[in-house]
Each structure stands twice: as C-alpha cells, then as structure tokens.
Amino acid sequence: MPQDFTLRVNGKSKTISADPEEPLLYILRDEFNLKGAKYGCGLQQCGACMVIADS
Ligand code: FES
C-alpha cells in the first residue's frame, strides 16, 4: 500500500506517494527526474545505482 514520504533531494523537498518497498533508484528516476543513477548489475557490484544519502 503506498505511503506518503517527504524527501529532500539536492536541496529541494518533495512529497511523493510510494510503496515502502520501492527502491530509491526508481523514485529518484521517476519522481525527481534524476536519470544519473541507473540499474546496472542488480548485485551491488557495479555502482551504477549508487547515490549519496544522509539523514
Ligand atoms: S546496479 Fe546497483 S551496484 Fe550494480
């Protein structure tokens, strides 16, 4: 079931509705239109999906 989340990305806040299990990668690409991070190997080996996060 989707839930509302407020994320601050690159200094801008945005509230989105997403399934809690949805990967951050897809939220960044689809909701924030940030296409730099990509799905590569899917095995945590290539780094294509890597982003810097802090809380
Ligand atoms: S897709 Fe994430 S490390 Fe390769």
How many CB atoms are closer than 10 A to CB 35? 9
- Give pLDDT tens digits for 36-50: 999 999 999 999 999
pLDDT at 26 (0 to 100): 97
- Going from N- to C-terminal start, the domains of the chain cover 1-55
Atom 3 of ligand 1: nearest residue by CA position: 44
C-alpha 32 to ligand 1 mean position (Å)? 19
pLDDT at 31 (0 to 100): 95
**CA 7 to chain CA mean position, Å:** 9
Ligand 1 touching residue 51 (CB < 6 A) = no
Dihedral sign for Cα 30, 22, 25, 6, please.
positive
Average pLDDT, the chain: 96
Q: How confident is the model at residue 54 (pLDDT cuts 50, 70, 90)?
A: confident
Class of domain 1-55: alpha beta
**Arithmetic mean of pLDDT, 18-47:** 97
C-alpha 49 to ligand 1 mean position (Å)? 5
| Statement: residue 55 has pLDDT above 80 | no
